[in-house]
Amino acid sequence: MQRLILLRHGKAESMADMGGDAERGLTDRGRRDSALMGRVLSDAGATPDLVLVSDARRTRETWEEVSAAFPSAEVEFDRALYLASAERLAHTIDANTEAAACLMIIGHNPGIHEIAAVFAGRTQSADRDRLMESFPTACAAVFSKDANGGWVLDAMLEPKRHGGGVL
């Protein structure tokens, strides 16, 4: 794998009508921002071959909105990604090194933010500085591998910087 996209799910309902946290769906804003980020990622040339998605409702719905931009991507829903820790996410990334040239993971904070911050740690940029502060809903961090096999932050893409993030 030469590229990695870490995408946080879109803005979700504060409570599910039925079921627990895993059944919280996206708000209208969450759907709009997710669709927007699919287009933004595609326009930036960040096109995943394989997409691993937490099986929570809000991450599945995020993929529904993002998927229009990536019709040829293979997708897998994985219960182990629900509220996964940074360590679990790192293991998942390592386990899929050979599976795709570009891997996207759609997950949850705090784990998705923590692993993005670890990978972005060596990068010196305004994107890195913003990433270290927060990782808002529908935010994407795009990484590429350097010559030594480490991850380098190419971009932090936030809905509010592309016309989204409004109610």
Give the CATH number of the domain where residue 62 resides.
3.40.50.1240
Q: Cα(100)–Cα(139) distance, rounded to whole angstroms? A: 22
A 10 A CB-CB count for 85 gives: 12
DSSP 79: G
pLDDT, block means (10 residues), the chain with 167 residues? 96 84 93 97 96 98 98 97 97 93 97 96 88 96 92 95 82
Count of the separate structural domains present in the chain: 1
> Considering the domain boundaries, does residue 167 fall inside one?
no
Range of the domain at 14: 3-162
Cβ(99)–Cβ(93) below 8 Å = no
Inter-CA distances, 49 with 54, 71, 98, 102, 109, Å? 17, 10, 11, 5, 23
**How much is the pLDDT for 167?**
65
